Amino acid sequence: MRKRLYSLLDGDGGAAMWCGRVMTVLIIASLLPLCFKESSPVLETIEYACVLVFIADYLARWATADLKLGKGALSFLIYPFTPMAVIDLLSILPVFNALNDALRTLRVLRLFRALRMFKLIRYSKSASAIAAVLEKEREALLAVLCLAIGYILVSALVIFKVEPETFNTFFDAVYWAVVSLTTVGYGDLYPTSDVGRAIAMISSLMGVAVVALPSGIFTAGMLDELRGEGSASD
């Protein structure tokens, strides 16, 4: 019974394909309430119906965790902490906000509905490929992220000391450093001194490199992933 359930959830057969399509439709439908400011009986019915299916899907995947992870009884302890299981659980939580009056003030629970979009990764080969690339290249991407954060903090500290009259708080300096590094440059905050402008030019040039580095890493990883899929199909 559990093997059949696992085959339905994560198999390659026609039944698994249709199950994935139904789940994709339900995930998109469950996001409809986010498109409206006010709730309605129809939207609440859609929400409850979708969440019931999501709960059943979560429990079914948990019940077959040993078949997926292959670690015996330990799989049932590990599964709730896997990335997709965490997303599944967080996407279910908003319904408790609607059912319990005491939780209605926790608006953050409603925002978890948006996490349901990430559930589509499980049912899309393209999204799965992207997720696989991010997982494979996580160390390189993390290194680039640390480099960017380090430079943002350093440039913010420097500009905060160079132009205290322009940047009233350190947060203003960090905000400017981020928009400069990403070459967005909204123009609401900008340095006026020669030293400040020099720092701005360096930040813009660094921004080109910081954006190009992860793009190159991701593109190379994606090409490797596509080659791997091509070799497997041959």
pLDDT tens profile 134-185: 888 888 889 888 888 888 898 889 888 888 888 888 998 888 888 887 766 6
At 34, the pLDDT band (50, 70, 90 cuts) reads confident
pLDDT at site 105: 46
The phi, psi pair for 100, rounded to 5°, reads -110, 120
Second-level CATH architecture of 138-233? Orthogonal Bundle (1.10)
Q: Which of 114, 12, 8 is nearest to 61 (CA)?
A: 8
Region 21-29 average pLDDT:
86
Distances (CA, A) of 40 to 37, 43, 46, 112: 10, 5, 10, 19
For the chain, the structural domain boundaries read: 2-123, 138-233
* 13 vs 17: CA distance, rounded Å: 6
Residue with tokens 């290194």: 143
Among 61-65, 205-209, 224-228, name the most confident range: 61-65
| Mean confidence (pLDDT) of the chain | 80
Distances (CA, A) of 222 to 75, 209, 215, 218: 30, 20, 10, 6
Q: DSSP 3-state assignment of 227?
A: helix
